[in-house]
Structure 1
Amino acid sequence: MSKPWDILRPVQRQIQLAMLLSGTSVVLGLASLALLALVLGHLIQHPHVWPWLPMALATASLATSLLLRLSAFNQSHYAAFRLETILRTNMAQHLAQVSLGHIQQYGAGALAKVMQDDIKALHIFVADSTPLYARATVAPLCTLLILVWLDWRLASGAVAVLLLGLGVLGLAMRNTGPMQRRYNAARERVNAAIVEFVQAMPVVRSFDTGHATFSRYQQALECYRKVLNDWYQQAGFTARYSFAVLNPLPTLIVLLGLGGWLATQGTLNFATWAAVLLLGAGMAEAVMPLMALHNLVARAKLSIGRIQQVMALPALPPPVQARLPASNAIDFESVSFGYGADPLSDDELALCDVTFHAAPGTITALVGSSGAGKTTIARLIPRFWDVNAGSIRIGGTDIRDMTTETLMAQVAFVFQESFLLADSVANNIRLGVPEATMEEVVAAARAAQAHSFIEKLPEGYATPVGERGGLLSGGQRQRITIARALLQNRPILVLDEPTAFADPENEAAVMKALSALMRNKTVMMVTHRLSTIREADQILVLERGQLVENGQHAELVTQSGVYARLWQNHEQAQRWALKRQPAALGDDDAKENKR
């Protein structure tokens, strides 16, 4: 496994440049202070002669120091933006090659957090921390060297204060590892509780008016507060004491007292003393950013670990030798597949030894009770998962021998949960075919029975649909999804309950749109509405992951098998109607009804 900081390698040189600029800025800043001390000593000795050269050099050093400091932060921010772009691009490309099984096991919320929060945390670390880290290490070291060169006795006094402060700081930071982990875990629980509370607001208001869900949020906050209290009690006094020591005043007091005594002994001249006071006062304070950087480094390591965990998700193996399909026929040959931890266990198989052939240009319907394996078949065709045994072929070519681009060029999808991007109607229809002209978009929308309602939207085809298409009804979203599939015009069409959430009016429009979409295509259609598949070329009946019946509607109804039972239940459901319940026994009307 790669080391944590290997993730910064794409921008390593830029980070090193930023740190070099920041360190050089510190050196020049110290040089400007040394030159000012020289100016002060010269003025004391020669009060009527202004030292223009040292003054000019001090000014130039200070200006260059500020310029380099700004340049360092510019470089670190450029590196952070580059790293953010690289990481998100690489992660998106990697996840596109990972099976949906692994993605669903990891969780959409956790993935979104890694792609957003963890990569953003690395951005902050690279942009702000790396120049500060250089300053926090270079400043004390260079100051110490200059102080030793000027007067080792005064340098010893400054170092004594520094060592005292570092010793107290070490006590404050003891056992920070476990406490840091507790702190981060508590923060994660608070964030998760906030997201849950906000996303579940309709359910919360309908069922518990927020009491149960809000109590979980309160518990997470209480846990977070307890962690902070424990941390404060563990390191409170030592941390405050270290802050008191590691600030300019204690060092300044020591240097003033020690310097004054040395001056009275005649072993220290004023110019040297002034230089030491200017330089040494900030030496202890310069190490204070290291404490904040320690926490930032710990958080960055946690984020890196989660990013590397996502990047370690196994990708679907690419084909050894890419091949093209000869037609749009679909063949399942002894396919077995399981979602569980042991996918080959008979107890965990979603499909068991399924074999069938769908000829080009035909409609194949998949029916069965919930959990029978219908949707699994539909989602194995585009290789959302790889089969555990057997093979799936399109046009005689195993889908594992096709590149992702080739396979996706063969298959279009319309699922029961139609997903739209937070973009315009036109761009949602163009998804997958970004080069499509507006005329082609409108033609697809007309064929999908969507043009009439799109024209009535505030901005027509330029109308934003909102997050996940939330500004449109379910039937409208479904027809836009069908228009998208029409525009893609791929030879194989997979339909998974495309009318599941449609009302009668929308269902008629959706079915009319589907009729246009299915023309001259090989269609695999998953449905519970058996009335929509009476004219299918073949009906595959699934039961507990096994293909138990195969045929057309007329012959299957007469076989008294699973399909006949499903059809009988369907007809009973069609005849069901809401009936008024009789009143209580004492009601005269109820008694009359009984007679």
Structure 2
Amino acid sequence: MDRQTPKSPWAVMRPVQGQIRFAMALAALGTVFGLVALAMLAWVIHRLIEAPGDWPWTPMFGVLVCTVLAYLLRINSFDQSHYAAFRLEQILRTRLAEHLARVSLGEIQRIGAGALAKVIQDDVKELHVFVADSTPLHARAYAGPAITLIALLWLDWRLALAAVAVLALGFVAMSLAMRDRAELVRRYHAARERVSAAVVEFVQAMPVVRTFDTGTDTFGRFQHALESYLGFLTHWYREASLSGRLGMAVLNPMPTLAVLLWLGAWLGWRESLDFSTWLAVLLIGTGMAEAMMPLMSLYHLIDKAKLSIARIDEVMDTPELPQVAPEKAHRPQDASLVFEGVGFRYDADGEEAVADLSFTAAPGTVTALVGPSGAGKTTVARLIPRFWDVTTGRVLVGGVDVREMRADDLMGQVSFVFQDTFLFAGSIAENIRLGVPDASQEAVEAAARAAQAHAFIEALPQGYETRAGERGIFLSGGQRQRITIARAILQERPILVLDEATAFADPENELALVAALSQLMRGKTVILVAHRLSTIRDADQILVLDRGRLAELGRHDDLIAHGGLYARLWHGYEQAQAWTLHPDTPPSTPAPSPARLAEMPS
């Protein structure tokens, strides 16, 4: 979608405007043939009145042909508009996906998966309805009254003015009903969204609700949102009820028909209107009124489309990560990682999440990041793959600034295992092959064995072809984590970022995960975000972060001897490990460090 065009509901149709115009032309032409059929019917009746025994076969056949053509044109108009709507869905979703692929992952996280899913799925679907249904209605809403008015003026200008007067009265009433409409529509949609948010919160928080407040507070918020929505609708209905009902009643075809019937009879009684003309006016005179209801529906579709377009534009306006030109891109020379004076802010006016951070991770070494909660450990790890770009300084992978590398080269150098695993709904094998789609079954199984996952996969009903379910729902947390590790092993990238992959592991799975990580870490440059300090005792270097700054740097024993922040964190960790329900029960032995296992011979 061209973001330079006006943010109008019609601008969104630009990619399929030719097909939409064709659909609108068909709809307008269908309206013309419908009115011609009525006019020819009046001619048939006139001929029968003049010569009762002489059937006018030619105009009768014309009525049939015009009626069939009007029907076929209307059907084809809706077919074309629906084809255009399906094309527009595909185009918009493709453009949104391509744009989001160029946006930083940090920005995507800021927007949120739920909001993006609503834009890509729901808002694009709203535009499908808008394009598919509104464009034929639009053509009919304008072509019908215009052609009818021309025909009425040609037949009898007095009856034409009477029909226009009825519609003018209806429009005055509707304008009173729709005063302050823009503000009311805004408040209406805001109230609806509050109800939707309250419903989602109430349903998703059901386990917490039942545990803590039996639903009283949460349901109270839901009930308050409903009452607010109902109160607004009641107020709007009362304000617009009288004028709205009057307008709908007058814009109905029956009042126009009644006025034309009465006025035509009076003019005929005075012998200033012949019967056949009056009959023709009665048959086609309601064409203007009949087009008003589709026009009212069109306003509603436009309002919904405007909201959807605003959200789509907001996503499309999200800034993309700057990409280096292919001819200026550099490729990494080795598996080293360097931070040079790196500073980073999530918001331009916010506090620094990382400040003046410098360190070097030599190829094949293990660097651990530790610190209190909120120290910036995960932020540092996610600056490596350009989830965000640094505010100051630079991050070098293989001696090259990550901003001067092609995205494919950077992703080919670094693999990740985070504590929050994600699996697609496809098969286990497809999830392991992610990023290496051409990998053989033998390679997939070898990676699964190294990740300590082969045994449980083979025990599944369809083995490697077993479907993981949405977000891996059919598997346990430890199983999902080992499949994620198998995926990283299969990718075989020289730099590995681990955001404490064993943080949520139960005792049964922790040893298997540690063994899997040891296989994954062999020979790689590893950046390990550590929450369990036992996992980093044997790291080549430990970076101790505090409020985004490097507080200490060294190996485990040296940092303990130094007696600084790391020593305090370690002593707190030891006390936590020693705590038991029964003072006489000895604490359990923690699982060995993956760094130590990685150094052991296979």
TM-score, normalised via structure 2 length = 0.92
After superposition, what is the alpha-carbon deviation per residue over 1:21-79, rounded to whole angstroms, capped at 9, x for unaligned? Answer: 11111111111111111111112222222222222222121111111111111111122
Distance 1:462 1:58 in 2: 63
Hey, what's the Cα distance between the residues in 2 that align with 1:352 and 1:165?
A: 67
Give the Cα separation in 1 of the matches to 2:272 and 2:436: 83
* Contact residue 495 and residue 524 of structure 1 kept, 8 A: yes
Aligned partner of 2:510 in structure 1 is 507
Deviation at 1:501, TM superposition (A): 0.4
Distance 1:252 1:435 in 2: 71
Q: 1:339 is matched by which residue type in structure 2?
A: Y
Tell me the equivalent position of 1:327: 334
Cα offsets for 1:388-409 (capped at 9, x unmatched): 1110001111000112222112
> What residue number does 2:523 align with?
520
- Structure 2 CA distance for aligned equivalents of residues 436 and 10 of structure 1: 38
State the one-letter code of the partner of 1:120: K
User: Is the aligned partner of 1:352 residue 2:384?
Assistant: no
Match in the other structure for 2:54:
49
2:308 counterpart SS class: helix
Aligned counterpart for 1:203 among listed residues 205, 208, 217: 208
Return the letter of the residue paired with 2:298: L
Q: How many Å apart are 1:118 and its aligned residue?
A: 1.8
Q: Contact 1:4 / 1:304 at 8 angstroms: preserved in 2?
A: yes
**1: distance between equivalents of 2:22 and 2:490?**
49
| Unaligned residue ranges in structure 2 (runs of 5+) | 585-602
2:460 aligned to 457, 461, 469, which one? 457
Q: State the Cα distance separating 1:100 from its structure 2 match.
A: 3.6
**Aligned partners of 1:18 and 1:440: how far apart in 2?**
53
Partner AA of 1:398 in structure 2: D
Inter-partner Cα distance in structure 2 for 1:446 and 1:79: 50
- CA–CA distance in structure 1, aligned partners of residues 514 and 583 of structure 2: 33
* Aligned counterpart for 1:191 among listed residues 170, 193, 196: 196
In the other structure, the counterpart of 2:264 is 259
Match of 2:552 among 543, 549, 552: 549
Partner residue in 2 for 1:84 = 89
Match of residue 382 from structure 2: 379
Q: Which residue of 152, 166, 169 maps to 1:147?
A: 152
- Residues 445-470 of structure 1 show CA distances to partners (whole Å, capped at 9, x for unaligned) of 22211121122223332333233222
Match of 1:496 in 2: 499
Choose from 302, 315, 320 the match for 1:310.
315
1:61 aligns to what? 66
d(CA) in 1 for partners of 2:411 and 2:61? Answer: 68
Secondary structure at the aligned position of 1:352 is classed as strand
How does 1:346-425 map onto structure 2 within 5 Å? 348-425=351-428
- Matched residue of 1:535: which SS? coil
1:580 CA displacement: 7.0
Q: Give the letter aligned to residue 192 of structure 1.
A: A
Q: Kindly provide the amino acid, as one letter, of the partner of residue 327 in structure 1.
A: D
Q: Which range moves more in the overlay, 434-443 or 448-457?
A: 434-443
Which range moved further: 77-86 or 555-564?
Answer: 555-564
Cα distance per residue 1:542-590 (max 9 Å; x no partner): 2222222222223333222322332222322222211279xxxxxxxxx
Query: Displacement of 1:341 after TM fit?
Result: 4.2
The separation in 1 between residues aligned to 2:35 and 2:104, in whole angstroms, is 57
Distance in 1 between residues matched to 2:202 and 2:469, nearest whole Å:
21
Paired amino acid for 1:116:
Q
| 1:252, distance to aligned residue in structure 2 (A) | 1.4
The answer to whether residue 490 in structure 2 is matched with residue 483 in structure 1 is no
Q: Secondary structure, in 3 states, of the residue corresponding to 2:288? A: coil
CA distance in 2, matches of 1:440, 1:128: 51
Match of 1:593 in 2: none
The one-letter amino acid paired with 2:228 is C
Tell me which residue corresponds to 2:242.
237
Check if 1:250 corresponds to 2:263. no
Question: Which deviates more from structure 2 when the two are superposed, residues 23-32 or residues 568-577?
Answer: 568-577
Q: Which amino acid aligns with 2:186?
A: R
1:123 Cα deviation from its structure 2 partner: 1.3
Partner of 2:593: none
Residue from 265, 272, 277 that aligns with 2:277:
272
Aligned to 1:113: 118
C-alpha distance in 2 between matches for 1:216 and 1:14:
47
Using the TM superposition, give the Cα deviation of residue 340 of structure 1 relative to its aligned residue in structure 2, in angstroms: 3.8
The answer to whether the 8 Å contact 1:137/1:287 transfers is no
**Consecutive aligned runs of 4 or more in structure 1 exceeding 4 Å deviation:** none
Q: Residues of 1 paired with 2:498 and 2:475: CA distance?
A: 21
Q: How many angstroms apart in 2 are the aligned matches of 1:175 and 1:436?
A: 62
Q: Secondary structure of 1:123's partner?
A: helix
- Which deviates the most, 320-329 or 213-222? 320-329
* Structure 1 residues 126 and 280: alpha-carbon distance in aligned structure 2, compared to 1, 3 A threshold: same
Alignment of 1:574 with 2:564, yes or no, is: no
- Closer/same/farther in 2, CA of residues 65 and 441 from structure 1, 3 Å limit: farther
Task: Provide structure 1 residue ranges, at least 5 long, that are not aligned to the other structure.
Answer: 582-595
Structure 1 Cα separation of the partners of residues 142 and 281 of structure 2: 19
SS in 1 for 2:504: coil
CA 1:205–1:466 in 2, change beyond 3 Å: closer, same or farther? farther
CA distance in 2 between partners of 1:393 and 1:431 (Å):
26
Q: Percent identity, aligned pairs only? A: 61
